[in-house]
Homo-oligomer: A and B are copies of this chain.
């Protein structure tokens, strides 16, 4: 068991999501049920939190509502947030020449973290593989760096972009002073 808690009450979340998404479209319960090919009694029960839908039923509804399915079981989210350069939580670094600042963490269990990386030339930052399915995106902001899979890193210049699977050994090695980059770590 990990911190991968969604919200503990999937049926309640689904009930709320169904109603919210339906309201968004402005359609009536009967109309959505008709388009989805499910009985409106079924949809009524689902929106009221009663009952435990099958995947096919939920799928049909997600199509009818034109919502990416997973959104029906994924809670909602918030507002404006600013993190100034130098502020924000630093994540552990093996050595002093490398800092990673967490800008936006998975809320509450989403699928991506955004970091600001700052590194100096010297020992490269080797990363052990993360969970399978993780994809990392790096956009180099300033300086120059070798980035990517350890077995075949790529030299990036300002503005360059690279994506690679995070579940394989990978590296970030600054080639100039004051090298900075934006890292988006995506948990699939």
Contacts and interface: CB of A to CB of B under 8 A. Distances in A.
A182 B62 CA distance: 31
6 contacts: A6-B69, A10-B59, A70-B111, A80-B162, A141-B182, A159-B180
Interface in A134-170: 135, 137, 139, 141-142, 148-149, 154, 157-165
A93 interface: no
A160 B112 contact: no
A188 B10 contact: no
A70 B70 contact: yes
A67 B112 CA distance: 15
B54 A161 contact: no
The SS class assigned to the A binding surface is: mixed
A52 interface: yes
Q: Within the oligomer, what is the number of copies of this chain?
A: 2
A162 B79 contact: no
A129 interface: no
Interface stretch (A26-34, A37-45, A81-89, A119-127): A81-89
B73 A70 contact: yes
Contact of A141 (B86, B103, B142, B164): B142
Contacts of A83: 160-162
A116 interface: yes
A86 to B, nearest CB: 7
A184 interface: yes
